[in-house]
Amino acid sequence: MVREHIDALRAGMRRRGALDALSPTIDRAVELDRNRRDTIQAVEERKAARNAVTQQVGQKKRAGEAADDLQKQSRDLGDEIARLDRELAQTEGQLNAILLELPNVTLDVVPAGGEESNSIVRTWGVPREGASAEPHWEVGGRLGLIDFERGAKISGSGFIVFRRQGARLVRSLLNLMLDVHTRDHGYEEAWVPVVVNRPSMIGTAQLPKFEEDMYGLKDEDAFLIPTAEVPLTNLYRDEVLPDSELPKAVTAYSSCFRREAGAAGKDTRGLLRVHEFDKVELVRFVKPETSGEQLELLTGHAEKILQLLELPYRVVRLASGDTGFASAHTYDLEVFAPGVGKWLEVSSCSNFTDFQARRANIRYKPADGGKPRFVHTLNGSGLAFPRIIASILEHHQQKDGSVLVPAALRTYLGAERLS
């Protein structure tokens, strides 16, 4: 597959600004592929020969004759086959390892370049003046909604305890989001494990490249999920979906776990970057030719929540170099937090094209009866809680120090104000 798209692959890596780094790797892949096919031919030739000899042995034995010479011939071929098979396994292992390290090729709508080439696609709402706003860690602490100290005590830095109305706010967000996505946006609700095995992590491309970002289990080859994208997408790993079920949309709330190794000190204050957080995730399995429009749809679903929460936000199209490893096209949703004076990423909506589907082997059977094809997968947060909570505490805070609860959340929260 790589063989046929080698030029597109090179161009894609160039747009990510990664061609220099990956060019030798790609050359190596081409070489390994050549090597693999040569070895396959050699080994299969010998297997065919052995099968023929072996059959003759059978005939002779049945006829009551000896077949010592043929048996020796077969044994010799067997030795050669064993050697070539080992060689083949090694080549395929190396090739596979390389392919797992190559990022997805971004779509044509995605500009080349790094972060500086990101573009704001649209904005919604009006950011509030920063001067009047208190940072969320102060609001949260003052109102007794967030207990940073005890979170650090019982688990470590970057673990949060929400209390009283703060805890209920988390529960309210979870219910609001799942209700809207299932009722208005047509998602099937799922509740998924937060522990997944290695094949699942490889399927959605967290592994092998990002193992150090993950919490691994000590006694088993399993991991805590960094996002519900992993269990949701892997729901259909190694399966063939009927055409009629596409597009398939699933959503789940889950805790998410990230080691955030190497991120120390950068935007880590308060709720901005934590090791465990809550999120409602949206995942779609779609036909390849529809994935472009499906990304717009999915992004709209996530935006809807921000609108209901009455938080000003902007939609940013990421440039190739800033687009995640597995993604071909990503919109980041950024919400404004006036207390910290920053736009915070609360959702990353991505079209993975067939990148994850190939790794996870997720296919569909076309209605015309053709061969199964890889689906396209998409996902996005809808939404991640901590930064949403930060923004709510900062954007909706009132002069008297209380926080006005957005109308959509009031019945869930059972209050109009956090105070």
Partner RNA sequence: GGAGAGAUGACCGAGAGGCUGAAGGUACCGGUUUGCUAAACCGGCAUACGUGGAAACGCGUAUCGAGGGUUCGAAUCCCUCUCUCUCCGCCA
Residues in the site for RNA, rule: CB under 7 A?
A: 37, 40-41, 44-45, 47-48, 50-55, 57-58, 61-62, 71, 74-75, 78, 82, 89, 371-372
Q: Which is nearer to RNA, 53 or 360 (CB)?
A: 53
For strand 239-242 and strand 362-365, is the pairing parallel, antiparallel, or unpaired? Answer: parallel
Distance CA 159, CA 30 (A): 46
Residue among 335, 390, 325, 360 at smallest CA distance from 103: 325
Active site residue 317: no
Q: What angle do CA 264, 270, 275 make, to 5 degrees?
A: 55
CB of residue 59 to RNA, shortest distance in Å: 8
CB of residue 67 to RNA, shortest distance in Å: 7
Laid out side by side, the sheet with 376-384 consists of 119-124, 313-317, 329-337, 342-351, 376-384, 276-286, 248-257, 188-190
Looking up tokens 């996005």 gives 380
Please list the helix, strand and coil fractions of the chain in percent, rounded to the nearest 5, in that order: 45, 20, 35
Beta strands in 158-306 (DSSP E): 161-162, 188-190, 195-197, 222-224, 239-242, 248-257, 276-286
For 60-69, letters b (16+ CB in 10 Å) and e give eeeeeeebee
Active site residue 387: yes
CB of residue 370 to RNA, shortest distance in Å: 9
Q: Which is nearer to RNA, 30 or 82 (CB)?
A: 82
Active site residue 119: no
Q: Which is nearer to RNA, 371 or 399 (CB)?
A: 371
Pair of tokens at residue 361? 């082997």
Q: Which is nearer to RNA, 367 or 407 (CB)?
A: 367
68-99 vs 19-62: helix crossing angle, rounded to 10 = 160
CB of residue 382 to RNA, shortest distance in Å: 28
Active site residue 258: yes
Q: Which is nearer to RNA, 82 or 263 (CB)?
A: 82
Enclosing H/E stretch for 243: none
CB of residue 40 to RNA, shortest distance in Å: 5
> Facing residues of 365 across strands?
242
Contact 120, 315 (CB under 8 A): yes
Catalytic residue among 348, 350, 381, 391: 348
Contact 60, 67 (CB under 8 A): yes
CB of residue 366 to RNA, shortest distance in Å: 12
Q: Is 83 left (phi over 0), alpha (psi -120 to 50) or beta?
A: alpha
Contact 327, 353 (CB under 8 A): no
Distance CA 291, CA 256 (A): 26
Catalytic residue among 50, 284, 363, 387: 387
Q: Which is nearer to RNA, 61 or 153 (CB)?
A: 61
CB of residue 25 to RNA, shortest distance in Å: 19
Catalytic residue among 10, 117, 345, 419: 345
Q: Which is nearer to RNA, 75 or 153 (CB)?
A: 75
**Phi, psi of 282, deg, nearest 5:** -115, 130
Q: Which is nearer to RNA, 45 or 87 (CB)?
A: 45
Distance CA 366, CA 114 (A): 38
CB of residue 162 to RNA, shortest distance in Å: 23
Contact 180, 307 (CB under 8 A): no
Active site residue 50: no
Active site residues: 258, 273, 345, 348, 387
